[in-house]
Structure 1
Amino acid sequence: MRIKAVLFDMDGVLIDTEKYLTRFWRQAAEEAGLLLTEEDSYQFRSFASRYAAPWFAKTYGEQYDYWAIRERRKELMSEHLRANGIEKKGGVDEVLCGLREAGYQTAVVTATDEERTRSYLSEIGILDLFDDIVCATMVERGKPFPDVYEYACRKIGRKPEECAAVEDSPNGVRAASGAGCCVIMVPDLTQPDEELFSLIDRKADTLCDIPQIILEWNKEEE
């Protein structure tokens, strides 16, 4: 089946914020007396808080308040972004404009809440390049569960197999794959392991590879 829509994760795919999320998770945790390695902090990428909280308590102990650490992380990150602005990933404008000109629907599918999502995308001038914004707060279960991608497909009127999902993190890949989308992983902080390679359809080196990958897929369907 031909690809007719491209669904983009936001953090780590469209904007270069994952490096700050992981940095400030470590700082907030350290302030609370918990030392996290850089690899530890990667676990929080696209991890819905409702499910991250019990995982956090089981992994690090109930003496550490996940919710308080999370709020402190959000404060630190907000302060940084206010002072320094939001960095776009390379090629974002060209890729989005090219896809829309070619007739593809585009949407953002993110674990970030809608207010911050719209604020971030407006700040870097790409909000109007999407047909829809879909956030994990709009569904029962966030990433790594498939709900947010299933909802996004319904919202734009496409079957999952007609949608290419562009993700950078393990939890995002699991969500998109679970929904039945064609998954393209553009690694940000970490490369795919054996499990992720079994879930993704293609790995792209950069966002700029996305249009060609989709073109090749659709040619195969002709």
Structure 2
Amino acid sequence: MIVFIWRQMMKTRQFDAVLFDMDGVIFDSERAVMDCWTTLAEKYNIKDIEQSVLACTGTTMVRTREIMLERYGDDFPYDDYAHEASIMYHKRYDGGRLPMKKGVAELLGFLKKNGKKIALASSTRRQTVENQLREAEIYDYFDGIVCGDMVSRSKPAPDIFLKACELIGTEPEKSYAIEDSYNGIRAAYAGGLRPIMVPDLLPANEEMEKLTEKVIENLFEVMNYLENIKD
């Protein structure tokens, strides 16, 4: 009952900004990463790779390495596999070939038209983020970009969202965060933002239902939802 009342109250409040995760929200990159690691798993007989990759969703490169070694042991040649996966990924998707999620351009255009600030808060390193946004020709929509190599603590710590809010000059409580990962939603909630989950590889579970203002199927529906936010 309390969660329902909170959501209804939040829906009546105006917002100033929207902060986006990138992988799994703007680009269909998490599925692309999974495909690359699945190929490696078949080649090197790596067990349970799907669950391992999902466990790394929304984390930095450093934390991903830690998770993989925790799961497979210190002698697991993660660095070699990650390098091979990276080469495979770039061969397949560089040059603007990385698929964008449906509704990205429409939602960004809607926010810009209505004077909302737009930021990116991604655990991916900055150079990769900037390259992919430029190749997709959406870089100029963003008023600020904060990446995983720009903060000391990764999601689920709220640092990346708080830094992004500070960068674009908005208050966390007046900002939506659009995320697909559990760690991303936890980070946005911990930072006092208004989380919206758009599930990608991971479905919304009971925890996510409690932490989000809304779970929404796709970005077109996010646009419709935000359009109906009233003062």
Cα distance in 2 for partners of 1:173, 1:20 equals 21
In the alignment of these two chains, the number of paired residues is: 219
Which runs of 4 or more aligned residues in structure 1 lie more than 4 Å from their structure 2 counterparts after TM superposition?
A: 29-33
The residue number in structure 2 matching 1:160 is 172
How far is the alpha carbon of 1:139 from its aligned partner? 0.6
Distance 1:11 1:111, change over 3 A: same
Unaligned runs of 5+ in 2: 1-12
- RMSD after superposition: 1.9
Letter in 2 for 1:97: G
2:94 aligns to what SS in structure 1? helix
Equivalent of 1:56, from 53, 68, 77?
A: 68
> Hey, what does 1:80 align to over in structure 2?
92
Moved more, 85-94 or 21-30: 21-30
Q: TM-score, normalised by structure 2?
A: 0.87
Aligned-pair identity in percent equals: 32
2:202 is equivalent to residue 202 of structure 1 = no
Residue 70 of structure 1, CA deviation: 2.2
Q: Paired residue for 2:150?
A: 138
Structure 2 equivalent of residue 3 of structure 1: 15
Amino acid at match of 2:83: E
Indicate which of 47, 52, 73 corresponds to 1:35: 47
Q: 2:124 aligned with 1:117, yes or no?
A: no
Gapped regions of structure 1 (runs ≥ 5): none
Match in the other structure for 2:205: 193
Partner deviation per Cα, 1:74-123 (whole Å, 9 max, x = no partner): 11111111388121111211111111111100111111111111111111
Higher deviation after alignment, 112-121 or 68-77: 68-77
After TM superposition, the score normalised by the length of structure 1 is 0.90
Deviation of 1:17 after TM superposition, in Å, equals 1.3
Q: Is residue 30–residue 36 contact of structure 1 (8 Å, CA) maintained in 2?
A: no
1:33 CA drift (Å): 4.4
Q: Residue 113 of structure 1 aligns to which amino acid in structure 2? A: R
State the match for 1:94 in structure 2: 106
> Does the 8 A contact of 1:6 with 1:165 survive in 2?
yes
Answer whether contact 1:28 1:70 (CA < 8 A) is retained: no
Deviation of 1:211 (Å): 2.7
